[in-house]
Amino acid sequence: MALVLNGKLLAQATEEDLKIRVEKVKEKLGYTPVLATILVGDNPASVTYVNMKAKACERIGMGSQIVRLAETTTTQELLDVIDTLNNDVKVCGILLQHPVPKQIDERACFDRILLSKDVDGVNSQSYGLMSMGRDAYVSATPFGIMRILKHYGIELAGKHAVVVGRSAILGKPVAMLLLNENCTVTICHSKTKNLPDIVRTADIVVGAVGKPKFIQSDWVKDGVVLVDAGYNPGNIGDIDLENCINKCSAYTPVPGGVGPMTINSLILQTVMSAEKLANDER
């Protein structure tokens, strides 16, 4: 029987612990620290995600502030908003919901977020530090994936991990984190040749493609650990999990696997930032 890597349960348990940590932080600071979320435009999926993040903050007693900006916002206007939040002492974390409208230089905006407030791990410097194994906030989904693998005691050192996808927020950072844990890592993308053959050599497969049931059961070997980061319409992952369950040793379900760990990792890092502020460690 394959082990279910249950992200929902782990996220719930972590929230209970975070509630206690937030109470202590509030006592020390004398005010409620805030996660500021910037939403540009009104993309329905982004609106839903931003509201889910605000609710998660409220559940653990952390403050949340949603800054809503027009679809026509310019890069400079967004940079000015980020500067204001960078300078607001009560804001201990800043999240810029992406994607942003095309006229905006998203990378410039991500890189404007102070490292000490980059709780979604999107700043290029955060990525660089994390890749070097140094202290930095980590992109939320990759951090969630590593936390779930560690929680369930999945052996990583010496294993061959194949990451399918190389986005800046998911594929690349999760590959670096797995490498830091001494996996041998192969990163695949849309130009990769013989993808099924490469996936067949994997002890751990991370699906981060954005295509429903893209990774097939005959691409994976017996005993593989499957991490499905995909979240496609209809709650469908990037791996054909249904047909892989009899072959794999462990898997993250969709929904209830990687998804809940993403928001949970965001709020965990927000609490870590608030603790650093309260302990004067910034």
- Residues classed as catalytic: 53, 97, 120
How many Cα atoms sit within 13 Å of 59 on the Cβ side? 18
Rounded CA-CA distance 98/67 in Å is: 14
- CB-CB contact of 111 with 126 (8 Å): no
3-state secondary structure (DSSP) of residue 219:
helix
Q: How far is the CB of 28 from ligand NAP (least distance, A)?
A: 31
Helices 140-151 and 7-29: angle between axes, nearest 10 degrees? 110
- CB-CB contact of 103 with 48 (8 Å): no
Residue ranges in 214-243 that form contacts with ligand NAP under rule CB under 6 A: 229-232, 238
From the list 30-38, 52-60, 130-138, 191-199, the region that binds ligand NAP by CB under 6 A is: 191-199
Identify the residue among 40, 164, 176, 183 touching ligand NAP (CB under 6 A). Answer: 164
From the list 73-81, 106-114, 123-131, 208-216, the region that binds ligand NAP by CB under 6 A is: 208-216
- CB-CB contact of 206 with 163 (8 Å): yes
3-state secondary structure (DSSP) of residue 234:
coil
Q: Is residue 209 a contact point for ligand NAP (CB under 6 A)?
A: yes
For ligand NAP (CB under 6 A), the number of binding residues is: 26
Give the CB-nearest residue to ligand NAP.
167
- Classify burial at 100, counting beta carbons within 10 Å of its beta carbon; exposed 0-12, middle 13-18, buried 19 or more: buried
Q: Is residue 51 a contact point for ligand NAP (CB under 6 A)?
A: no
Q: Is residue 253 a contact point for ligand NAP (CB under 6 A)?
A: no
Q: How far is the CB of 156 from ligand NAP (least distance, A)?
A: 20
83 token code pair? 């500067």
- Which residues of the shown chain bind ligand NAP in the complex (CB under 6 A)? 141, 164-167, 169-171, 188-192, 195, 208-211, 229-232, 238, 258-259, 262
